[in-house]
Amino acid sequence: MKVALVSDAWRPQINGVVRTLETTVGKLRACGHAVETITPDQFRTIACPSYPEIRLAIGSGREVGRRLDNAGVEAVHIATEGPLGWSARRWCLDRRLPFSTSFHTRFPDYVAMRTGLPSAWFWPIVRRFHTPATRIMVATSMLAKELAEQGLPQTHAWSRGVDLDLFSPDMPALPALAGLPRPIQLYVGRVAVEKNIGAFLDTPVEGSKVVVGDGPARAYLAQRHPGALFLGALQGTALAAAYASADVFVFPSRTDTFGLVMIEALASGTPVAAYPVHGPLDIIGTAQRRVGAMDDDLATAIRAALTAPRADCAIEGRRYSWDACTDQFLAGLCPFPTRQRLAA
């Protein structure tokens, strides 16, 4: 099958959405499928307000349409609700072609945090974007239920996976963490207001707090918490070593739709502490073993998670397969009717 994947989230961004999409594209191509990616690096862009590292394509509508006209694709998947996503949506609607979307980010919650306005004000935009989609791919059953309550019932399960060749308890210790007071409490992800990292750094738990990642809130948090160690963004073996070196992984977000970093931590043998919200409930709450803890008091969750058996965490993490996720993605696509497929 030849698939067009349209996403406003792409390199040089480093986050769970980008890693999910890049891995899926790689897996699809390895299976013999052709994938046409339409991403911001192919267009003139401007910085997203308050997120300068996120680039938004401008004046992309005609070019997106031209590329889709010429690509000869059999299905279109629109991953994000940004400028490229809206352009691809319009192309499909104008030609009365089916398409799938995915709901990676709680856009209404994120905008509400930055504007101080109610998140309910922004749900109409989300509904407008996704309503025409034949399927909306979501990572968890709880998220599917939430979208159904918002008038978007046409969801399809598309879980997440772990690179089990990289994330493992057998990784060597990260030198930057050597000699730190135990327990080492680790956060990995974007350093931004919606990730609620301040709640983690404020917890009165003994040991060391380590933040891996970058983002607009890093300078403020580093100044406010001089005792925490901010390592910036890590990738590859350095990131895997950070997970394996920590005593507990702390996931303070209350708004994420899944939390790829949680299953990477588990595959590394590191238990997870979190609030009992979407994402953690779907991962820790459904685990077959005790792999962490959730509590409305994050310090309580951290202390409880520290007692979870690391071997059980690693076993649980290995349940998440990218091959299975890719099969789910393929099953969720909406191929064009044969008579409407466009010649390349």
Q: What is the CATH number of the domain that holds 94?
A: 3.40.50.2000
Q: Is pLDDT at 343 greater than 70 in this prediction?
A: no
| pLDDT score at 85 | 97
Looking at the domain assignment, is residue 37 inside a domain?
yes
Claim to verify: residue 156 and residue 53 sit in the same structural domain: yes
Instruction: Look at 109 and 64; give whichever has higher pLDDT.
Output: 64
What are the distances in angstroms from CA 177 to CA 137, 173, 191, 212? Answer: 38, 8, 19, 12
In the structure, what pLDDT confidence band is assigned to residue 342 with cuts at 50, 70 and 90? low
Q: Is pLDDT at 90 greater than 50 in this prediction?
A: yes
Q: Is pLDDT at 188 greater than 60 in this prediction?
A: yes
Looking at the domain assignment, is residue 73 inside a domain?
yes
Claim to verify: residue 183 and residue 297 sit in the same structural domain: yes
Report the alpha-carbon distance of residue 228 to residue 242 in Å, rounded.
Answer: 15
Q: Is pLDDT at 228 greater than 80 in this prediction?
A: yes
Among residues 13, 62, 64, 20, which one has the least CA distance to residue 42? 64
In the structure, what pLDDT confidence band is assigned to residue 158 with cuts at 50, 70 and 90? very high
| pLDDT score at 50 | 66
Claim to verify: residue 225 and residue 145 sit in the same structural domain: no
Looking at the domain assignment, is residue 169 inside a domain?
no
| pLDDT score at 29 | 98
Claim to verify: residue 77 and residue 150 sit in the same structural domain: yes
Claim to verify: residue 122 and residue 262 sit in the same structural domain: no
Q: Is pLDDT at 146 greater than 70 in this prediction?
A: yes
Claim to verify: residue 316 and residue 186 sit in the same structural domain: yes
Looking at the domain assignment, is residue 166 inside a domain?
no
Report the range of poorest mean pLDDT among 36-40, 47-51, 237-241: 47-51
Looking at the domain assignment, is residue 168 inside a domain?
no
| pLDDT score at 302 | 98
4 touches 76 (CB < 8 A): yes
Looking at the domain assignment, is residue 270 inside a domain?
yes
Instruction: Please indicate, yes or no, whether the overall pTM of this predicted structure exceeds 0.85.
Output: yes
Looking at the domain assignment, is residue 220 inside a domain?
yes
Report the alpha-carbon distance of residue 262 to residue 282 in Å, rounded.
Answer: 11
Strands (E), the chain: 2-6, 34-38, 45-48, 51-57, 75-78, 100-102, 135-138, 155-157, 184-188, 208-212, 229-232, 248-251, 272-274, 292-294
Preceding omega of 83 cis (within 30 degrees of 0): no
- Exposed, middle or buried: residue 108 (CB in 10 Å: 0-12, 13-18, 19+)? buried
| Average pLDDT for 302-322 | 97
- pLDDT digits 0-9 by tens, 3-31: 999 999 998 888 889 999 999 999 999 99
Report the alpha-carbon distance of residue 56 to residue 40 in Å, rounded.
Answer: 6
Claim to verify: residue 94 and residue 124 sit in the same structural domain: yes
Claim to verify: residue 38 and residue 139 sit in the same structural domain: yes
Claim to verify: residue 183 and residue 103 sit in the same structural domain: no
| pLDDT score at 341 | 55
Claim to verify: residue 112 and residue 196 sit in the same structural domain: no
Claim to verify: residue 229 and residue 312 sit in the same structural domain: yes
**How much helix, strand and coil, in percent to the nearest 5, is found in the chain?**
40, 15, 40
Report the alpha-carbon distance of residue 145 to residue 136 in Å, rounded.
Answer: 12
In the structure, what pLDDT confidence band is assigned to residue 114 with cuts at 50, 70 and 90? confident
In the structure, what pLDDT confidence band is assigned to residue 344 with cuts at 50, 70 and 90? very low
Number of separate domains in the chain: 2
Task: Give residue for tokens 């003139």.
Answer: 44
Task: Give residue for tokens 């969801």.
Answer: 155
| Average pLDDT for 275-299 | 96
Range of 225's domain?
175-320
Claim to verify: residue 152 and residue 15 sit in the same structural domain: yes
- pLDDT digits 0-9 by tens, 194-225: 999 999 999 999 999 999 999 999 999 999 99
In the structure, what pLDDT confidence band is assigned to residue 340 with cuts at 50, 70 and 90? low
Looking at the domain assignment, is residue 167 inside a domain?
no
